Every structure is written in structure tokens, then in C-alpha cells.
Amino acid sequence: MAVKTFSSFLFGIFAICLWAGHMLGAQAAPAPITDSLNRRQSATDKLVFAHFMIGIVGNRGSSADFDYDMQKAKAIGIDAFALNIGVDDYIDTQLGFAYESAARNGMKVFISFDFNWWHPSTQAADVGHKITQYASLPAQLKINGRVFASSFIGDGLDVAQMRAAAGVDVFWAPNFNPSQTPNNGALDSAFNWMAWPNNGANKAPQPGQSFSVADGDNAYKAWLGSKPYMAPISPWFSTHFGPEVSYSKNWVFPGDLLWYNRWNEILTLAPRYVEIITWNDYGESHYIGPLDSKHTDDGNSKWVNDMPHEGWMDLAKPFIAAYKAGASKPDAYISEDQIIYWYRPTLKSLNCDATDTTLQDANNSSGNYFKGRPNGYETMEDAVFVVSLLKTAGQIKVTSGGNSAVTYQVPAGAFAQKIPMGVGKQSNTCPCGIYNFNAFVGQLPFKTFGSLDSQGLTSLTVGLHVSTCQPTPTLIGTAPPSNDPQPTNNPPTSSTIPTQTVTTAPPASTPTNCNGGTVADGESPNLPVFATFRALRATAHLDPASVLRSVRRDGV
């Protein structure tokens, strides 16, 4: 029996072993993902959008800077980016770049007006004029020839005035609230932003105040009647801005297995449109796009550095294909065997009060600022979440920290499991001294992932109360060297399977780890993750390039 060991970064000893009828990473002919926008754009077709924050990409210098995003999004079946815009002076420049890149890469885009910055009571005509400005460009999404536009909030907008100012036929699908806009007559569709379980007041569920995402679906569908519904989907939500910025906010919604569970809901719900929240909102930790998508740092790097989410893109891919095909399961669209896993860097009981950035007073005009642990943290589980996408059934063994190994059978297709999160032996615990409730997302077989560049790290140390954090990535997002033991053609004769562990230290130039502050007994987030793969077919061979490099911080 061939044995391979994978290891990746982060936070607690963690091992995944898979026994399957074939090698993890073995390729099959990919199930086709229809390029829906080349043949569709009718009022009855299913389309997938991703919310894209233009406000953090003011540093892009040409349309080429958007190509990377367009190509990665298109590869998993996303049809269009919803370009969230405020009123910054670089908005038109970046919109021009985005539209040009989308046209070059076979994508579509549309404007999503962020009414945190636009004023619905006074700027209806301005909204219409902005829609007109881009309506004729080749990459503009149109539904039966009608110019698609959307929003974040915006109830109270004079839609008739907006349409008159636009002078083109607008397909208006805003994020209006049924309770604030009871009459939907001016709308063509509507977008529900609330993609997370909540308390009905934009915070995590509470006893006696708990609403599922499906509850929101039902409310919007009842309100819209026969009009198409744009359903939300998001993998996570965690934000932790302190007094170092003017937009202080600190809360979470429970994520856990939400990304997997919600995609299954989407297959059952079969809405006309789906919008992913988000591609690149790093500040709220619900990005699925890569860390090296060019952007500026609004202070999010404190909890985003070294926290890739790209595995969530691969998880979504077969679900997107199934959704567009009207299938009830993603199984027929799984083109390669994968395991995607994620977890938070620390247990929620960890005490970082001595060094966290949110223990001081800050601007709380929004009502979203809470001191210490983020509001809602109790609703999150201390677990490792594992989703397998397999062509045939197998068995997975997961070990986290000092916990006993958990072994379970997995069927072919998509399957999810959660394992209690264990801890290791490191003493310094709070990453960068703060409460970090973001998720690290890993993949097996290993795939390279991006890192924040210098412009994405400019605010990392601003406001920190520790000096051990440097504005530099400390993970190695590249494939390992080909020095791992190769599988043999002879399986072991006993039931005990030998294991070989590959642990490769980071280069000498890797900066010190991003830890500091309080020490909690028995809690150690910043340790390597170990994931071991085993396959039954003795003749199978694993390409060394697909073996996950052991990546760890210095001193771990």
C-alpha cells in the first residue's frame, strides 16, 4: 500500500488520511461547465455572480490587473462580477479597466451601487447616468437586451427617476428589503444580502432570535412572487476593525459548514440568480478569491495574511455546474478527487484581551463595534470542517492536535464532516495579538495559493499591541520538492500501514511568526497542519508536485 504524507500550515496538529479505491488527485475527464454567457442571457437562465469590491482596488494600473480575477472566476463557472462601487475618485478608472478585462476574458460585469456611499434620497438621477455610462460596453451583462444593475441596500431610491435618467432599459435587481419596500412593482428582481444565519438585526443568532438563510429566501420569494430571485451564498463572516480606523466593527456570523450546506440548499432552491458574497471583501473574511488579487489594505491584513480561501473556489465548482444543469447533486460534475478543509486559527475560548486591538473605545456610530471577542463568537464551533469530493467511496482519518484520530467512511460525491479541533504545544498563541476568527482553507492534493503583496500589507502593524508581527507573508504557497518517498508496487503484509512524514522548513528569510500577547494553557494555534494520504492501489503513483509542502513559521 502506497503511503504519502502532506503537510500544510496552520494552527494545531491536523492529519487527514484517505483510503480510497484510487489515488487522490487522479484526474478524470472534466465535466463540462457551460459558458452560459456565450449562449445565454435570457430571462429564464441561471447565472452565478460574485460580489467584487472596487473600493479596495484603486491601486490597479491597467485592465490587465483584472485578468487574473476574471480568469479564475470564469474557470469555476462564475458568469459575472457585481462591481460594488462607492464614490471614490478612481471608480470610473477601475470600472473601465474591469469592463475591458471582462470583455477580453469572456466574462460579464455589472454595477452594484453601494448605498453606504450613494444617497438614495438625492442621487437617483446620478445612479441612472452611471448605468448609462457603461451600458453599451461589450462586457455589460444584459438580460434579454436589458442592462443589468444592482445594489447593496438602497431602499427609498426613486426608481422611476433612475430609469428616466438612464435612458436605457434597465433590469433593476437591487438589494432592497421587503419590509422597507413593500411594493416591488418598480423592480425586475431583488438580491438578498443576508447569506448567514442571523438574529434578524444583522448579528449572529441569539436565543429566541434565530433566522436561517432559508428563512430569508422564503421572505424574498414571497415578496417577489413570479419575479426572479437573486439568492445569496457566502462561506464565512468575520470582521475585527478596532479604533485604528474610522469604520470600527467587530462581529461574526456562524460560518462553520455554511459554504457546503448552502450550496446544497441552492441546488434545491434553484433560484434564477446566485450571488457569491464575496470575491474580494477581505475585511469581512468572506472572500473566495486569491490573496494575491491586487488590492490595497484597509486594515484587514491583520487577520487575512496567510489565510488563503482558494479551496472554497474548488468546492464551489461542481456545485455551480450542477446548479446550472438543474441537477440535485454535484456528484456528476466532480472531475477530480479533492479534500477541502478549513478551521479557525484558535479556539474561541482563547483569551487575547491583554493585546487585542478592540479593547479600547472606538467610533461606534454603526452599532457594529464590540470590545474583545467579536460579537457572536459563541455561535461558532471549535471544529475542523472537511469536505470530500470523490469519484469513488473511501475512508478518511482525521487527527487534530492531541485529540484521538477520527475515522469515517465517505461515499462517492460530495460529503462533509466536522471534527473537534485540537491544540498543540506552542506557548505564544494570539496571532498578531488579536482575536482572529477568520478561516484557513487547505486543499488536498496541494494547490499553490497566493499571498498578500506589499500593498496588501501596508496596514498590518497599525494599531497592533505586539511587536512580533511583520507585514510579510510567512507561508510557502508553492509545491514541495520531489524528495518525498515514492509509493512501491508492494503493499505491506500487515494491517499496520507505515507512514513517512515530510517536514520541510521554510527558507531562512522567512520572518518570525505572527504571534504575541497572552498565553492560554493548552491552546496553541500556530503549529503545522499535517495531512496524510494513503491509497489502496499499489500501482498508483503520486506526482510529487501534488504533495503538499510542509510550511511552518520559524520557531514552531
Task: Check residues 55 and 26 and name the one with the higher pLDDT.
Answer: 55
Q: Which of 144-148, 380-384, 465-469, 482-486 has the lowest mean pLDDT?
A: 482-486
Question: Does the pLDDT of residue 111 top 80, yes or no?
Answer: yes
Cβ proximity of 345 and 474 under 8 Å: no
C-alpha 337/C-alpha 325 separation (Å) is 21
Q: Residue 172, SS3?
A: strand
Strands 47-53 and 80-85: parallel
C-alpha 242/C-alpha 486 separation (Å) is 49
Question: Does the pLDDT of residue 496 top 90, yes or no?
Answer: no
Cβ proximity of 70 and 107 under 8 Å: yes
Query: Which set of grid coordinates corresponds to residue 405?
Result: 484520530
CA trace torsion 342, 372, 465, 361 (10° rounding): 140
State mean pLDDT over 34-46.
60
Strands 273-276 and 229-233: parallel
Question: Does the pLDDT of residue 39 top 80, yes or no?
Answer: no
State mean pLDDT over 365-387.
97
Task: Read off the pTM.
Answer: 0.85
Residue that is written with C-alpha cell 427609498 in the block: 156
Q: Tell me the pLDDT band of 4, cut-offs 50, 70 and 90.
A: very low
Q: Supply the pLDDT for residue 313.
A: 98
- The DSSP result for 477-519, as a single string, is -SPPPS-SPPPPSS--SSSPPP------PPPTTPPBPSB-S--
State mean pLDDT over 352-359.
97
Cβ proximity of 168 and 201 under 8 Å: no
Cα 196 to chain centroid distance, Å, stands at 13
Q: Supply the pLDDT for residue 425.
A: 57
Question: Does the pLDDT of residue 139 top 70, yes or no?
Answer: yes
Q: Enumerate residues 6+ apart whose C-beta is below 8 A from 541.
A: 2, 23, 486, 487
- How many angstroms separate the Cα of 387 from the Cα of each of 12, 290, 338, 346? 19, 20, 8, 20
Q: Supply the pLDDT for residue 501.
A: 28
Q: Which of 133, 126, 129, 127 is nearest to 95 (CA)?
A: 133
Share of the chain above pLDDT 90, in %: 74
Q: Supply the pLDDT for residue 42.
A: 65
Q: Supply the pLDDT for residue 475.
A: 83
pLDDT digits (tens, 9 = 90+) for 502-527: 222 333 333 332 222 222 322 333 33
State mean pLDDT over 60-65.
98
Q: How many helices (H) and strands (E) does the chain have?
A: 9, 20
Question: Does the pLDDT of residue 546 top 80, yes or no?
Answer: no
- The DSSP result for 75-91, as a single string, is HTT--EEEEEE-S-TTH
C-alpha 409/C-alpha 396 separation (Å) is 6
C-alpha 462/C-alpha 460 separation (Å) is 6
Helix axis angle for 258-269 and 311-325, nearest 10°, is 10
Q: Residue 473, SS3?
A: coil
Q: Enumerate residues 6+ apart whose C-beta is below 8 A from 3.
A: 485, 487, 497, 498, 499, 500, 532, 534
Q: Which of 331, 233, 219, 238 is nearest to 279 (CA)?
A: 233
Q: Supply the pLDDT for residue 477.
A: 63
The sign one gets for the Cα dihedral 142, 56, 73, 150 is negative
Q: Tell me the pLDDT band of 15, cut-offs 50, 70 and 90.
A: low
Q: Residue 4, SS3?
A: strand
Q: Supply the pLDDT for residue 223.
A: 98
Return the ∠ at Cα 360 (arms to 471 and 291), rounded to 5°. 30
**From the CB of residue 431, how many other CB atoms can be counted at a distance below 10 Å?**
31
Q: Supply the pLDDT for residue 471.
A: 96
Strands 273-276 and 47-53: parallel
Cβ proximity of 471 and 524 under 8 Å: no
Give me the chain's average pLDDT, please. 83
Strand partners, 152: 114
How far the first Cα of the chain sits from its last, in Å, is 32
Q: Supply the pLDDT for residue 461.
A: 97
pLDDT digits (tens, 9 = 90+) for 297-342: 999 999 999 999 999 999 999 999 999 999 999 999 999 999 999 9
Task: Check residues 42 and 373 and name the one with the higher pLDDT.
Answer: 373
pLDDT digits (tens, 9 = 90+) for 446-495: 888 999 999 999 999 999 999 989 999 988 665 544 433 333 333 222 22
pLDDT digits (tens, 9 = 90+) for 398-422: 988 888 999 999 999 999 999 999 8
pLDDT digits (tens, 9 = 90+) for 257-286: 999 999 999 999 999 999 999 999 999 999
Q: Tell me the pLDDT band of 533, cut-offs 50, 70 and 90.
A: very low
Q: Enumerate residues 6+ apart whose C-beta is below 8 A from 367.
A: none
- The DSSP result for 247-300, as a single string, is S-EEEE---TTHHHHHHHHHHHH--SEEEES-SS-GGGT---S-TTS----SST
Q: Residue 237, SS3?
A: coil
Strand partners, 407: 397
Q: Supply the pLDDT for residue 413.
A: 98
Q: Supply the pLDDT for residue 497.
A: 24
